[in-house]
A and B are shown apart, each in its own frame.
Chain A
Amino acid sequence: MNKPLLNIKNLKTSFRIKNDYYAAVDNVTLSVNQNEILAIVGESGSGKSALAFSIMGLHNKLRTKVEGEIIYKGNNIANVSPRKLNKLRGSELGMIFQDPLTALNPLMTVGEQIVETLILHSKMSKTERKKRVIQLLNQVGIPRPEYTFEQFPHELSGGMRQRVVIAMAIACKPTLLIADEPTTALDVTIQSQILDLIKKLKLELNSGIILITHDLGVVAEMADRVAVMYAGQIVEIADVYTLFASPTHPYTRSLLNSVPSTNEESGRLHVIEGIVPSLQMLRREGCRFKDRIPWVDESAHEKHPELHEIKPGHFVRCTCYKEFSFPNKLEEEQKYGTS
């Protein structure tokens, strides 16, 4: 029924810091199907944006090494020439960036910027293009598209700008859309509109969507499958119902426990000890989450943690989940990581 659209195999993205390469994405294997929303969750520094940038080929080649395979529709697009990639980017691969103000050119009107993608990737005439852009702006819910067409990014509010970025990403009806924190900067009411729009896109275009976010509420509403990333690795992957009903990896459980929710009574929030290790400090052997759950016995962790399939389609890294529980006493003590 659903064909895999994108297959990522053993992807490793490393950044150069002082002549050494450090992997920000470390051996990630993932697939995205048509008509599927895959959510990638994790704290900042977990490598989720680095993964997205690798797929789009947006990393600076001088400072970044991308190893492994990214197979899109049967072709490996990792490390192909920018020229080949440019044919895909903007037409078949769309990306919604996190920060709409830096993603837009301040010196071009909104209309010109969206028209630009159409010039590059379609054979429309000038009037057709304008018509299409106005249709797009209408589609993303901009109230006066003809007027906004002539406006500059600085004249628009944050929510409006984000819609423009989305309009640009979907201009050529991409088959794979990567949305990097598309609603983080927005108000809840606009957020729900934008999320509806992304869902509609999935239905209309049958596209695969990678949704990168740290908002677990958004994940619960949108995703079909969820991959949880920590320190460059996927620590848990499952369909959305399984993940929220029986989260298994200690990191997933800690994350879910730290969200203040509107339907639960307020108590103390769970705090994950310590911080996400920086690239250089990261210990690359053993369980990477070990330092943040120090009360779990050393023997619970694997030497070389693998993803284990505990139920069909539900993968969890390392064996420490079997022994893990929240220590209430430790939580009360409130240890803070001091630097």
Chain B
Amino acid sequence: MSGLPSDLVDAAIRAATPIGLAAIGELIVERSGVLNIGIEGAMCLAALASFIAASAAGPSAGLAAGAITGVIVTGLFALVVVRFRAQQVLAGTAISMLALGLSATLNHALYSTTLETPHVATLPALRIPGLAAIPVIGPAFAQPFPTYLFYGAGLGVAWFLYRTIGGLSLRAAGEDPGALRTVGKRPAAIQTAAIMASGLFAGLGGATLVVAQAGTFTDNMSAGRGFIAIAVVALGRWTPAGVILGSLLFGIASSLQFVVQASGTTIPYNLALATPYVLTLLALALLGGSRAAPASLGRSLDAPG
């Protein structure tokens, strides 16, 4: 990795994609009134599933396996949080602990006997004709499929949230589930669907780490990206455009680590690693904390149904 501007653009876009995919899912679930901290674990277990499927049937199968695993992990979260109305933050923390522990155990059970780290083929970069040839920002248009999926999903979710009845109901579940119930809709069903969607995107984000980037699996592969995605949603003021910008900000912050390494400056690596977290806290403080959050975020429904 050199310090060329076009390499930095490439690194920033690559770093933004897994976080951005997870953040799109978290945006959906938080707009429905549920705070899902379990996506960190869902990402990690999905990354392992993606690696297993990719070694058997190629990177596309890996992407699908990641998405399915994400949905399964958050399905358990949905059961505990919607059916049993459990405290969401604690349930999410437990789901993350569970999935992280399982991924480490299964990884060890499956691959501890192999001597060298196994690798899988990764998804090819898809060059958009014309755009990919632009100097400096060209690499942003020569990315593997999940990157385009992220920006496409951002647009799709924006359309869904603000232009469809389903999106209106989902936002209503996050603001005032009681009012939604009086018009004959079922907030519990909407939240369950939203939780599954967050698992789908977290799974895609975890799979992206394997089949579009590293080509292998390591323990704790998600490395806090799910938690960063949650911060990105708050940073983006709970809007799709904000989430995309927030993810890019993170991508840029992460790519600056490469500048630090490449330039041999005196900024220590570990301080560079802490930067995204500090930046998020600063941005949250300056943007007014949780004041733009859905009114009912984090509260359990008063009644089932």
A binds B: no
Which residues of B are at the interface with A, using a C-beta cutoff of 8 A? none
